[in-house]
């Protein structure tokens, strides 16, 4: 079968190559060929100036590292949705209900199969829209510029849906990925030339353009229930309950009883272990720290993700949150007094640290610079979370800020190295 397919592609090659009838569509042919087989033109040294690893292999390993997050995106989303439906005693009628009925599945939070498949029905449409819209735009830019479609979009299309709430309308998912691909990458020249993470660029656009959808504060009344408040998704959205980060970010210290600040578990009924495992409301693929740690082990073990950036983020967040706890004598919001061990497991800190901050294109390139870059992202995450409760999830903005500062960090690191060498030679 593979031999027949190889011969077919070889016969079609002249039609798409230079001078052929379908010359303009060569990027589409080349994308299919290199996806199925190793490219005919390979290098024995660095494939491009930013990384020496073959781009296809690197992107494929990143997608493999994301598999645990894919699993949690389906399982936890379905679990939260089934919990919400169980609490409301009846499901909201959507196109998903006939599918569940045809499979003979009920909305049982105790059923692994029911949770996974119901969550899959939330996640997969968003993923398919991301692939269709983003992939089409990538192909258009490749055809116009006359270069091949590379594998960079495989990672962007995998990351972007994981950062979205399950209630995200499909048209918003398509609009967000279009913004991320075009504004975040293609206008700067494509893969390897963007200075911002494309997936986060699209997510940030949706966050500011449609804040009620992206932050989970959109009030959607359900039959027999009153409208819900800040940080809460209804059963119609597939998730129910306040997110730990949203609850702590909106609780004012002045509202505390007798000056006693409630814990995350008191406000949300979620323990530290619940947050660590990932069985909490939130964006589909960002809730599980365990899934992110498995991905981190794969990326570090394969030499793709920078452990220095991850460690820098961890140390920066730990130091900043510890300082706020020690020196914030009269904070306005409870999250200011939240210990670092909670900041590690709530929100998308783990996901951003492992998969977003380590983007080899938009992060710092120098070894020393990676420590500073990671530390900056960690510090900014806590500052944004704690000082400005309007942006409870600070990881996204912190990483984009770090992306902008990465070239400057590398510049100062290189200049410092030059000065040390010049001083050594002068001596």
The pLDDT-based confidence of 205 (bands split at 50, 70, 90) is very high
The pLDDT-based confidence of 225 (bands split at 50, 70, 90) is very low
Q: Supply the mean pLDDT for the chain.
A: 80
The label of the residue with tokens 């992206």 reads: 214
Q: Give the phi and the psi of residue 393 in degrees, each rounded to 5.
A: -90, 100
The mean pLDDT of 182-204, rounded to a whole number, is 85
> How many domains, the chain?
3
Task: Evaluate whether residue 70 is within a structural domain.
Answer: yes
* Domain with 393 in it: 243-426
pLDDT in tens, 66-100: 999 999 999 999 998 888 888 765 666 678 888 88
Res 292: pLDDT:
96
Contacts 24+ apart (CB under 8 A), 102-111: 107/81, 107/82, 108/82, 109/79, 109/82, 109/83, 111/82
Same domain, 269 and 344: yes
Res 319: pLDDT:
95
Task: Evaluate whether residue 238 is within a structural domain.
Answer: no
- Euclidean distance between CA atoms 357 and 309, whole angstroms: 7
Asked whether the predicted pLDDT for residue 29 surpasses 60, the reply is yes
Same domain, 116 and 190: yes
The pLDDT-based confidence of 235 (bands split at 50, 70, 90) is very low
Task: Evaluate whether residue 148 is within a structural domain.
Answer: yes
Same domain, 86 and 172: yes
Model-level pTM? Answer: 0.80
Task: Evaluate whether residue 198 is within a structural domain.
Answer: yes
The mean pLDDT of 181-203, rounded to a whole number, is 85
Q: Rounded to the nearest 5 degrees, what angle is found at the Cα of 76, between the Cα atoms of 72 and 77? A: 110
Same domain, 15 and 93: no
Asked whether the predicted pLDDT for residue 228 surpasses 60, the reply is no
Same domain, 154 and 25: no
Res 48: pLDDT:
46
The mean pLDDT of 300-306, rounded to a whole number, is 91
Asked whether the predicted pLDDT for residue 394 surpasses 80, the reply is yes
Strands (E) across 67-200 are located at none
The pLDDT-based confidence of 337 (bands split at 50, 70, 90) is confident
More confident residue, 137 or 1: 137
Domain end call among 214, 234, 262: 214
The mean pLDDT of 220-239, rounded to a whole number, is 36
Res 242: pLDDT:
60
pLDDT in tens, 136-182: 998 888 888 777 666 677 888 999 999 999 888 999 999 999 999 99
Task: Evaluate whether residue 32 is within a structural domain.
Answer: yes
Same domain, 249 and 362: yes
| Residue 24 CA to its chain's centroid (Å) | 33
């Amino acid at each position: 079968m593979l031999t027949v397919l190889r011969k077919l592609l070889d016969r079609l090659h002249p039609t798409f190559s230079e001078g052929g009838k379908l010359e303009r569509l060569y990027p589409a042919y080349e994308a299919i060929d290199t996806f199925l087989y190793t490219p005919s033109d390979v290098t024995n040294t660095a494939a491009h100036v930013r990384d020496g690893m073959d781009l296809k292999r690197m992107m494929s390993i990143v997608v493999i590292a994301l598999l645990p997050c894919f699993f949690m995106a389906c399982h936890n989303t379905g679990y939260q949705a089934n919990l919400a439906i169980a609490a409301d005693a009846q499901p909201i009628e959507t196109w998903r209900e006939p599918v569940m009925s045809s499979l003979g599945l009920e909305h049982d939070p105790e059923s692994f199969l029911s949770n996974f498949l119901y969550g899959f029905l939330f996640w997969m449409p968003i993923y398919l829209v991301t692939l269709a819209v983003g992939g089409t735009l990538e192909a258009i830019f490749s055809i116009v510029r006359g270069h091949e479609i590379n594998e960079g979009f495989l990672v962007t299309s995998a990351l972007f849906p994981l950062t979205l709430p399950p209630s995200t309308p499909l048209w918003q998912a398509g609009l967000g990925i279009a913004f991320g691909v075009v504004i975040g990458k293609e206008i700067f020249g494509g893969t390897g030339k963007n200075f911002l993470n494309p997936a986060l660029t699209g997510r940030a656009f949706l966050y500011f353009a449609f804040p009620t959808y992206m932050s989970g504060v959109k009030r959607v009344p359900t039959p027999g229930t009153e409208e819900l408040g800040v940080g809460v998704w209804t059963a119609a959205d597939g998730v129910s309950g306040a997110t730990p980060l949203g609850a702590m970010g909106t609780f004012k210290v002045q509202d505390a009883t007798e000056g006693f600040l409630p814990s995350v578990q008191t406000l949300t009924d979620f323990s530290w272990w619940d947050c660590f495992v990932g069985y909490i409301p939130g964006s589909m693929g960002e809730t599980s720290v365990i899934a992110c740690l498995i991905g981190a082990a794969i990326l570090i073990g394969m030499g793709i993700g920078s452990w220095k950036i991850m460690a820098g983020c961890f140390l920066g967040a730990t130091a900043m949150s510890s300082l706020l706890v020690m020196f914030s004598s009269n904070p306005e919001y409870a999250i200011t007094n939240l210990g670092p061990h909670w900041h590690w497991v709530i929100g998308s800190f783990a996901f951003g640290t492992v998969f977003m901050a380590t983007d080899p294109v938009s992060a710092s390139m120098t070894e020393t610079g990676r420590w500073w870059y990671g530390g900056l992202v960690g510090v900014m995450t806590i500052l944004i979370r704690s000082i400005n409760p309007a942006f409870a999830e600070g990881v996204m903005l912190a990483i984009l800020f770090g992306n902008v500062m990465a070239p400057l960090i590398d510049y100062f690191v290189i200049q410092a190295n030059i000065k040390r060498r010049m001083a050594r030679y002068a001596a």
